[in-house]
A and B are shown apart, each in its own frame.
Chain A
Amino acid sequence: MSTVRIQNYSNVAVLDQIEASVAQVLLGKQTQVKLVLCCLLARGHLLIEDLPGMGKTTLAQAIADVLGMRYNRIQFTSDLLPADLLGVSIFNRQESSFSFHQGPIFTQLLLADEINRTTPKTQSALLEAMEEQQVSIEGETRQLPEPFFVIATQNPSSHSGTYPLPESQLDRFLMRIELGYPTPEAERIMLQRLSAPVKRAQHLRNKLEILLDIEQLNDLQRLASQVVVSDHLLDYVQRIIQQTRESSKVQYGLSPRGAIALLSAAKAWALMAHRDYLLPEDVQDVFAAVVGHRLTATGSVSSAQALAEHILSKVDVVYK
């Protein structure tokens, strides 16, 4: 839209560049890339759920590169312990004292790979850190760096050897997205690149330049939170939430935390469209990603996407 009223901020345009840049690596997944950025702008954590080999890790790495963030990756396994994640105090013989060795969680962007492969104990250590932005180890509270953004990936829980995350913990993620198979065209380009002499995809990824620093990101996040929400739009959001609570196809309605998540994600989405006010379209666009993992469908509705579409189709955008 051309009705931009954001002054003094060329930064917003940077978002387009980031999108384009990441899209070079992850072909044909513009929407997902946009959702990831939106999640980051809304200060939320992201859960990517898909089959192995769909480009979950590639996406997370590309984002980290472009944002110039400190980046750690943990591969979750069933024998991973909380200490492996958070860090341990080790006795220093010279100084005769314990010194704390930070675990991989002390980073700006954490890629938690296959989070549902580890035990609930380790899962909850991570999720606690996500919620509080701090960790308590041996009675001492330690702040995590700012910003702290977690991208967790998980396999569909029907795969063997997984510990599915309970609903209460899924709620900590602002969004859950699925990547899905690439389009035939995108796959073709990808395969062509791979057949080139060097691993060019790898090469290309390394070449991504840093487009945004931490301060700029902070500014953008602040801007996103300042997007104007009119009464009519709040009415609409409330009608949607009410619908999730009344619909017979949903087991439990959306929690207030879920409602807040929906609104903040939609605001970030509006910002990405260079708009300083929220439209119903923004809410509709992010709705499936934000609520898909928070609602349990009953009966015939199979996928989260279908459930989200069903709920939206029942709510009038304009009237009560």
Chain B
Amino acid sequence: MTDNTLSKKQLSWLSAGMFLSIAALWLQLPWQILICSSFFIAWRGLLIQKKLTKPGKMLNFCLLIVSGLILATSISPVISLQGCVGFLVLMASLKILESESTRDYLLLVFLGCLISACLLLFSRSILSFSYCLLTMLILHVALLQSFTAPAKGSRKRALKTTSIIFLQALPIALTLFVVLPRIGSLWTVPLNSNVAKTGISESLTAGDMGRLSQDFSVAMRVTFSGENRPEKSAMYWRAMSLANFDGRTWSRDKQPIKLSQSALASLRKNQQTVTSAAALNTQQYRYQVMLEASGRSWLYGLNTAMSNGAKLYQWQDYSISKPEKVLQRYQYQLWSDLNYIDNTPLSEQQWRVFTALVGEDNSKSRAFARQLKGQYGSAEKIVSALALRFNTDFIYTLAPGKSPPVNPIDDFLFTNKRGYCEHFASASAFVLRAAGIPARIATGYQGGQWSADNKYLIVTQAQAHAWVEYWSSNKGWQRFDPTASVAPQRIEQGSVEVLDRFNESLGFTGVLRANSWLRHLQLNWDGLNYQWHRWVLGYNTQIQLEVLKQLLGGFDSWRIGLLMLGVMFMVAVPAAVIGFWSSNNASADPLLTLITKLEKKLFKLHFVRDKSETIKVFLRRTAQLSANNKQSLMAISQRLEKHLYGQTRHFSVADKKHLEQLIRGLK
């Protein structure tokens, strides 16, 4: 550009791009900052329309102070991710207001790109990413505006050109993404980490699970490796066991004990023998779990599960946890053997813990337990008697009514006979303990929904579940799910379907679930998100090596270099062919080709024809500004006019040569 002033068009594009990139942060930044920067951008808009004047030096300084104050008061602490982004946004919007030269303009375009990328610090979903791309597109149109003649082309054309550039860059960007080494973060910023997620907690009171039953947000997604998948009814995603009971609430051991080395070794040994035998039909599964941020540290797996990751804790009750809380989506690999038995006898102390019942309440239930013990003796028989009892006249419902403060188990077992999974589990565990059988509650999720493409399993919060584990002297800890007796469909189909049958109203979420089309859409969207997280966000060095190996057969540098060259070739050759073809095509009219040549030449000399300007007017204007070309410009003008519009239609080779010579002579 010859002059340093910015055109209206450039500024409009820039303002639009900046506005989009800043607007994206509306959830992240306090409203004061957004209003402040919108104000500056609007000011610029009015400047473009000449409705306001530029702020003077003094006012500029005041604006700076005011925005600094706004920043300091609206974000605390100021030195945080939010604070830094807010600072960037405010300063960039101030810069918009005062930008004048092409230099400022370029700086702002780059600042805009940086701000739009800031969105990804807060959210990494597909939507955010797409939005970020859109903003970048607009900003690149703005960038393009400063390198092309301002009068050329409409808005649509500018967008089209930039889109083509983007599309050309796409394969190269993708390849770079695939092959560039995944370097860990060079610096970290304090990300927002107080995400409190409800979900399964470390204790269980009647009503806890019922509260989750209408929360259809995803808890985790599971991909099984290989074709071998368990039945839905066997999918108990166990988090932990709750051994302590205070009469109302079941809770976890305060100081859990780690799984002993010997038990771990035998579990591992079991795994190794099976892998070597490659027996697929056994109840052994290898799977990958992508856990949503839960705010807790434990992980979910099919019992008995073992993790290959060295950094995870394996506890004595075979639950697995992470050293720190899961604050972001977390992926882990597990191996599970559903038939694994650990019948190491319980110690004295353990026996005491697992049969402990405080107080003397719920006397009817205790009497009932003693009666069962007398009648059946062994644990297995007592359990099946309990299941039979539940199966006869109990009702599985979300709204069992409030349980009384005293003797809640008596009330459930003999009076109300209505409850959700935790009522059944709690009552069963109580009865078993009262009968002298070690018992505990296990919590987690049950079942899941296969994704639209049937490739992975989606487990939602609504699938939260509680069941009972009891000790059998020769089989070790055994699972007993009383819900399976009262409402077997809950286990086979899922809680919602069962509640539907029991005519429970689920309100709007129910309607949403009932509409299969919406359901399908939701599943597809979930699938897309899952792939996004798996392949883009979760693309780590390990996956990268696997992909490269599959793609190139190795990861030597020459292979990667070859791939890069290939992709460049793929992009460059079609572009060159199209360019060559279109330039050939345009040469249909030699006069127009000549004019194009002339315009290109003059463009280099910083003269641009407005499209509605006639050749004559344009050349006359040019001649006035460039005195040494005056003669030849006038000659060109006359000749072109004669050939374009006059009666001398014939355009001979000599004429063409002469004109070309004149054009070449322009300086």
A interface vs B, CB < 8 Å?
3, 5, 228, 230, 232-233, 276-281, 284, 312-319
Contacts and interface: CB of A to CB of B under 8 A. Distances in A.
Interface string B51-90: 0000000000000000000000000000000000000000
B264 interface: no
B646 A317 contact: no
Given A276-B647, A280-B614, 9 more contacts: A3-B638, A233-B645, A277-B646, A281-B616, A313-B612, A317-B612, A317-B615, A318-B615, A319-B595
Contacts of A278: 645
Contacts of A232: 591, 644-645
A5 B611 contact: no
A284 B645 contact: no
Interface string B598-618: 000000000000111111110
20 contacts: A5-B647, A228-B646, A230-B649, A276-B647, A277-B647, A279-B614, A279-B641, A279-B645, A280-B614, A281-B614, A281-B616, A281-B617, A314-B612, A315-B611, A316-B611, A316-B612, A317-B612, A318-B592, A319-B592, A319-B595
Nearest to B645: A230
Contacts of B613: 317
Nearest to B646: A277
Nearest to A240: B612
Contacts of B646: 3, 228, 230, 277
Contacts of B616: 279, 281
Chain B: interface residue count, which band?
Answer: 10 to 19
Nearest to A279: B645
A101 B638 CA distance: 57
Contacts of A280: 614, 645
Nearest to B638: A3
Contact of B612 (A276, A277, A279, A312): A312
A226 B592 CA distance: 26
B154 to A, nearest CB: 8
B148 to A, nearest CB: 16
A3 B646 CA distance: 10
Looking at A228, A277, A279, A317, the one whose CB has the most chain B CB atoms below 10 A away is A317
Contact of A315 (B592, B612, B644, B649): B612
A5 B645 CA distance: 14
Nearest to B642: A3
Contacts of A317: 611-615
Contact of A230 (B612, B615, B644): B644
Contacts of A279: 614, 616, 641, 645
B152 to A, nearest CB: 10
Contacts of B649: 230
A314 B649 CA distance: 28
A15 B617 CA distance: 24
Contacts of B615: 317-318
Looking at B612, B616, B638, B642, the one whose CB has the most chain A CB atoms below 10 A away is B612
A312 B611 CA distance: 9
Contacts of B645: 228, 230, 232-233, 277-280
A305 to B, nearest CB: 15
Contacts of B591: 232
Contacts of B612: 284, 312-317
Nearest to A281: B614
Contacts of A284: 612, 614
B647 A228 contact: yes
A181 B190 CA distance: 70
A228 B641 CA distance: 13
Looking at A279, A284, A312, A314, the one whose CB has the most chain B CB atoms below 10 A away is A279
B410 to A, nearest CB: 79
4 closest Cβ pairs, A-B complex: A316-B611, A280-B614, A313-B612, A230-B645
B51 to A, nearest CB: 16
A315 to B, nearest CB: 6
A236 B407 CA distance: 95
A230 B613 CA distance: 18
Contacts of A233: 644-645
Contacts of A276: 647
A279 to B, nearest CB: 5
Looking at A228, A277, A318, the one whose CB has the most chain B CB atoms below 10 A away is A318
B617 A318 contact: no
Nearest to A270: B645
B617 to A, nearest CB: 7
Contacts of A313: 610-612
Looking at B592, B613, B614, the one whose CB has the most chain A CB atoms below 10 A away is B614
Nearest to B591: A232
A318 B647 contact: no
A314 B151 CA distance: 11
A315 B613 CA distance: 9
Contacts of A319: 592, 595, 611
Contacts of B614: 279-281, 284, 317
Nearest to A228: B647
B641 A318 contact: no
Contacts of A314: 612
A280 B613 CA distance: 9
A318 B642 CA distance: 14
A276 B645 CA distance: 10
Nearest to A315: B612
Interface string B623-660: 00000000000000010011011110100000000000
A164 to B, nearest CB: 31
A264 to B, nearest CB: 17
Contacts of A3: 638, 642, 646
A278 B610 CA distance: 21
A317 B618 CA distance: 11
A312 B642 CA distance: 23
A70 to B, nearest CB: 38
Interface string B580-593: 00000000000110
Nearest to B586: A319
A274 B659 CA distance: 26
Nearest to A276: B647
Nearest to A309: B612
A290 B592 CA distance: 29
Nearest to B613: A317
A281 B645 CA distance: 11
Contacts of A316: 611-612
Contacts of A315: 611-612
A265 B130 CA distance: 54
B655 to A, nearest CB: 15
A246 to B, nearest CB: 12
A276 B642 CA distance: 11
A319 B616 CA distance: 15
A319 to B, nearest CB: 7
A230 B638 CA distance: 16
A318 B592 CA distance: 8
Nearest to A311: B612
A3 B617 CA distance: 17
Contacts of B592: 318-319
A8 B614 CA distance: 31
A317 B644 CA distance: 11
A316 B16 CA distance: 27
A295 to B, nearest CB: 17
Nearest to B647: A228
